[in-house]
Chains A and B, each alone.
Chain A
């Protein structure tokens, strides 16, 4: 479980400061949670705070579960290292058996000989395929997913969602998505980030309704 205790978080947007959380205290239950919020509400920042890579201005975040890096994140691959070398690094830091993982990665990504080439030679699709496969290869209690983007062809997507479903048998997911359907598919409760507070809803549809309410209230652009 992840508990926020009196957390204040703001960020600079031009000359003004936007408040994401204003002394917020809440506990995220052990469930699959969909996070909703209008653009600029701070969903991604909240995600990084959940992961622990970004710290709040004040307040404390307690977590007694292991939390993933944002799923599908490929930015941490080093361009001049090969796919295999990048993979080996991640296996080392997370103490995973490289020999077994590499077999899984080979089959899952179908990158073939490209795995032995520098990541900077990959297309963005290949990068994401590797990134997704690597995230699946490390076990976490809680997976953070920032905007699932469709990666690869239909067959690969099908494989991804199958693997992901398997993960969710023992782990939970916290995801950000703009698509109602994604949230409905993966989550069994929702949270809406608005006006410096996170409101949790027991029911996904309630959360989506509340989010749409906020959307309508936005000035038309």
Chain B
């Protein structure tokens, strides 16, 4: 039997002490988790990746079909499909981030047995994966639009980036709240999809909030996602200017969500660590 030895160049896994060491370690852990999540989320089968395309595809096709049957044409955008894509993709980003983050901790309990892996590493890794798949989807949609001769590039690309960035941060905040709450209340994970369904229906994926009756507008105004979708449309379509947007309100909600998530994780860290 040959004598198996561990390679001699060993760097002991010293606990990181300086800020740059801590950041480097955390970055490494998040990248590793990101790759692992990608692999387990989509699997090695082609089906895993195609679902990520089929899901929004069906959603857009269904609404486009309904619009066609009703003879309805959205007030902005040359084609209903453009209008729908600018609503469906961002709302799916919101939905997927909040859904995936809800189970980030509960589904990764075993991983958290590695002392080097912390709660927010797992949460961040999942959120980054969702953002990456959003952009993949967005560019795919743009490519398809280009081929079938629709408007394939937003009027204000940088503004689109800003909207998506804000939306992602808001979803990240809401998702991290969910991640902690799901550890404390087991039924929380079942409530999230219900709440997300309300968000989906009310945020103006398939209508403009401006066209709704006054009382409905008052309700819709409460949801930051509705503001974000209006903003997304303003950034996408050159002639459109929305009345349904208060950036300050969106930023405030985002900050509150992010802060609440962080505070909950800190407050319940001990409890989270115990329920193995």
Does B31 make an interface contact (CB < 8 A)?
A: yes
How many residue pairs bridge A and B at CB < 8 Å? 104
Main secondary structure, interface of A, reads: loop
| Contact pick for B273, options A53, A81, A93, CB 8 Å | A53
CA–CA, A136 and B10, complex, Å: 12
Contact with A along B1-20 (1 / 0, CB 8 A): 11011110111111100000
Does B161 make an interface contact (CB < 8 A)?
A: no
Which residues of chain B from 21 to 47 have any CB-CB distance to chain A below 8 Å in the complex? 25, 28-29, 31-33, 35-36, 39-40, 43
- Asked if A137 meets B32 with Cβ closer than 8 Å, knowing A55-B270, A73-B113, A78-B40, the reply is no
- Asked if A54 meets B39 with Cβ closer than 8 Å, knowing A75-B110, A94-B116, A140-B13, the reply is no
CA–CA, A97 and B111, complex, Å: 20
Does B73 make an interface contact (CB < 8 A)?
A: no
By Cβ-Cβ distance, the 9 closest A-B pairs, closest first, are A92-B32, A107-B4, A100-B7, A55-B270, A139-B12, A75-B110, A66-B13, A76-B110, A52-B115
B114 contacts A139, C-beta separation under 8 Å: no
| Contact pick for A54, options B10, B36, B111, B274, CB 8 Å | B274
Main secondary structure, interface of B, reads: loop
Does A89 make an interface contact (CB < 8 A)?
A: yes
A107 contacts B2, C-beta separation under 8 Å: yes
A66 contacts B14, C-beta separation under 8 Å: yes
Complex interface: chain B residues within 8 A of A67 (CB): 15, 115
Does A179 make an interface contact (CB < 8 A)?
A: no
A53 contacts B115, C-beta separation under 8 Å: yes
B112 contacts A139, C-beta separation under 8 Å: no
Which residues of chain B from 228 to 276 have any CB-CB distance to chain A below 8 Å in the complex? 269-270, 273-274, 276
Contact with B along A16-29 (1 / 0, CB 8 A): 00000000000000
Does B117 make an interface contact (CB < 8 A)?
A: yes
Complex interface: chain A residues within 8 A of B36 (CB): 78, 81, 85, 89
Does A37 make an interface contact (CB < 8 A)?
A: no
A55 contacts B40, C-beta separation under 8 Å: no
Interface residues of B (CB under 8 A from A): 1-2, 4-7, 9-15, 25, 28-29, 31-33, 35-36, 39-40, 43, 110-117, 269-270, 273-274, 276
B273 contacts A55, C-beta separation under 8 Å: yes
Which residues of chain A from 79 to 102 have any CB-CB distance to chain B below 8 Å in the complex? 80-81, 85, 89-90, 92-97, 100-101
Complex interface: chain A residues within 8 A of B276 (CB): 54
Does A11 make an interface contact (CB < 8 A)?
A: yes
Look across to chain B and name the residue whose beta carbon is closest to the beta carbon of A52: B115
Which residues of chain A from 46 to 72 have any CB-CB distance to chain B below 8 Å in the complex? 48, 51-57, 63-70
Complex interface: chain B residues within 8 A of A85 (CB): 36, 39
Look across to chain B and name the residue whose beta carbon is closest to the beta carbon of A170: B12
Report which residue of A55, A63, A90 has the largest number of chain B beta carbons within 10 angstroms of its beta carbon. A55
